[in-house]
A and B are shown apart, each in its own frame.
Chain A
Amino acid sequence: MSTITTSARGIRMRTPAVDPATAVARARPHVSLGETVSQTSSMAWRALKKMRRNPEQFFDVTLQPLLFTAMFAYIFGGAISGNVRSYLPLLIPGIVAQTVLTTCMSTGVQLREDMEKGVFDRFKALPIARIAPLAGPMMADLVRYLIAAGLTFVMGVIIGYRPGGGALGVLGAIVLAIFTGWAIAWIFTFIGTIARNARSVQGISMLILFPLTFLSNAFVPIRTLPSALADFVRVNPVSHLVSASRDLANLGVISGEVGWTLLAGLVVIAIFAPLSVYSYKRHL
């Protein structure tokens, strides 16, 4: 390719000379909020592109709802509620919470994998908001939460679930689940920035995820639990999400549980978003 020599000359002809003084004068000391939003959406665009090119990333959010819904319904249905059909109103919102939370975990794992790639060196060197490379992929993951929550309800309906709250109630439950998933994903993003590699992110995340989902009212009624455990289950934000979703999907009611869920989500974001950015910066 002999074009390089000639094209190097081409740069000179086409564009005016670089002037350091102008560049220094133009350089701004901080990123504005508008820039941060625009950079975050560019990062989200990148993450969506990558998702489309690696469709296997959708395996968990498509297969898990289908498999778990059917599996849990037929295994626990008889034991807990007498039959499958009367267990479904209890189970489906629980499965929604569980799948969305599992999906959040992969946010952290993927961030860690991504951070080890060369392109992150460039992101660090670019004059962009430090939160953009973290928040961008999380925005793209909203699509995954939507698929996970939506498919769970679809699968539920297929095996006989009839949500009493109607379409609006279900929609409300889905939106709430997506918000909570996004909020909790900040915990896993933080783990992604502190862990040594993607595998350890997976390990640590599992340790957090299992107690959080199973020590909740997602699959069994609280009254069946020993009292110390019941106390934990009552304060677990996942329980609030599950209760709020049940009220929305089964009764079409926006209960106080919705407020608790939103509050818990905001608290998680307020703690873990700054921690993640701080930890990401420290990596530099």
Chain B
Amino acid sequence: MTTEASVYAHGLVKRFGELRAVDGIDLQVGQGEIFGVLGPNGAGKTTMLKMLATLLRIDAGQAQIFGVDVAREPHRVRQLVGVTGQYASVDEDLTATENLWLFGRLQGMRSAGARATASQLLAQFGLEEAASKPISQFSGGMRRRLDLAASLITRPPLIFLDEPTTGLDPRTRGQMWDTIRGLVADGCTILLTTQYLDEADQLADRIAVIDHGRKVAEGTPDELKTSVGNSTLQLELAQGADHDLAQQVVWRVVGREPVLTPESGRMNVPLETADAAADVLIGLRQAGVAITAVSVAKPTLDEVFLTLTGHDAGDADEPGETVRDEPFLEVR
């Protein structure tokens, strides 16, 4: 057993013209881990994954997969990594069995062996009934599963999953999570990207948060959540209320800076527990700061982002919008 990191990257850079899509990322993923790369659309997650999978040239920095240099020995790296992209990379004109058989043959399996592996994988992924159907009749979830199955044919020790559950319904999503956990139990290492905090939370042992091509934070899900508090108190101050005074009160009561949201007059207060919300409200009442709306919610990806980067996680076309799990006071 080597002690080599499954993924080691140092100062990884990818430029597209003027844009530095990946701007000096360091990464170290241990063996048998599920490592989550969390970030909004366009943060550079997929670009980074593609560089590590030899699909994009590395402009600067270096990367190794189990100690094998990605730029110098791409062919060896391709034998160690299974890649499942954001869009199903299977052949639409072939059936599920034919797809898996082809990928097996291409990787040096004999015809009979490839056929056996194909039917075994289809059974494991609950696709045997659809084995000889054309892919065009597959649902989104079935395609993703077939795609993942196609990455597992030669049982690579490292698997890259690019947003494995984006666009899937919650039930199919849960199934995908179970499948991913099963792979790790098998000895695989997983590097996955996601836009969803809860997905990273559910699956990942460690998370790196990526924004504008840079790593802005790294840690276990718990560490990340603690950095933004376990829940958030969202306040809307009345017109004419003293913002500075409100900030001072918050600081005195919970010992943290409130985060001002883009909408004027609103502030988010990170809390260790939801109970502390009452203390803040009482503090504000005593200081005479008037409030028009109050809500308490679990921290969302947006808040993690807001706290870590000072800007919203959402797409550029949705400025300032915060999507919440629970709109109003949450009792925990």
- Do chains A and B interact in one complex? yes
A interface with B by C-beta (< 8 Å): 1, 3-5, 7-12, 14-15, 17-21, 23-24, 26-31, 35, 38-39, 42-43, 45-46, 49-50, 53-54, 117-128, 132, 284
A142 → chain B closest CB, angstroms: 20
Q: Is the CB of A125 within 8 A of B78?
A: yes
- Give the A-binding residues of B (Cβ under 8 A): 1-2, 4, 6, 31, 53-57, 66-68, 73, 75-81, 83, 85, 87-94, 98, 102-103, 105-108, 120, 123-126, 145, 150, 155-158, 175-176, 178-179, 181-183, 185-189
> Judging by beta carbons under 8 Å apart, are A11 and B89 in contact?
no
Contact of A18 among B89, B93, B124, B157 (CB under 8 A): B157
Q: Is the CB–CB distance between A125 and B83 below 8 Å?
A: yes
Q: Are B80 and A27 in contact (CB under 8 A)?
A: yes
- How many cross-chain pairs have Cβ atoms below 8 Å apart between A and B? 154
Inter-chain CA distance A12–B186, complex, in Å, is 6
Please name 28 pairs of A and B residues whose Cβ atoms are closer than 8 Å in the assembled complex, sorted by A.
Answer: A4-B145, A8-B178, A8-B182, A8-B183, A9-B182, A11-B182, A11-B183, A15-B186, A17-B186, A17-B187, A18-B157, A18-B187, A23-B79, A23-B80, A24-B157, A27-B79, A28-B79, A42-B102, A43-B106, A46-B91, A49-B93, A49-B94, A50-B94, A122-B85, A122-B150, A125-B54, A125-B78, A125-B89
Most buried by A among B76, B92, B183: B76
Residue of A at shortest CB range from B159?
Answer: A18
Contacts of A12 in B (CB 8 A): 182, 185-186
- Known A-B contacts A11-B183, A27-B76, A29-B73; the reply to A4 vs B125 at CB < 8 A is yes
Shortest Cβ distance from A2 into chain B, in angstroms? 8
Q: How many Å lie between the Cα of A146 and that of B222 in the bound state? A: 65
The chain B residue sitting closest to A49, CB to CB, is B94
Q: Determine how close the nearest CB of chain B comes to the CB of A38; give it in whole angstroms.
A: 8
Q: Assess whether A24 is in contact with B68, with CB atoms less than 8 Å apart.
A: yes
Tell me whether chain A's interface is mostly helix, strand or loop, or mixed: helix
Q: Which residues of A contact B120 (CB under 8 A)?
A: 14
Q: Say yes or no: B85 contacts A126, CB within 8 Å.
A: no
Q: Find A8's partner among B56, B73, B123, B179 (CB 8 Å cutoff).
A: B179
The chain A residue sitting closest to B94, CB to CB, is A49
Interfacial chain A residues near B124, Cβ < 8 Å: 7-8, 10-11
Q: With A and B bound together, what is the CA distance between A126 and B188 in angstroms? A: 18
Residues of chain B within 8 A of A54, CB atoms compared:
93
> How far does the alpha carbon of A24 sit from the alpha carbon of B57 in the complex, in Å?
22
Which of chain B's residues have a CB closer than 8 A to the CB of A42?
A: 102, 105-106
What residue of chain A has the Cβ atom nearest to residue B183's Cβ?
A11
Chain A residues closer than 8 Å to B55, beta-carbon distance: 121, 124-125, 284
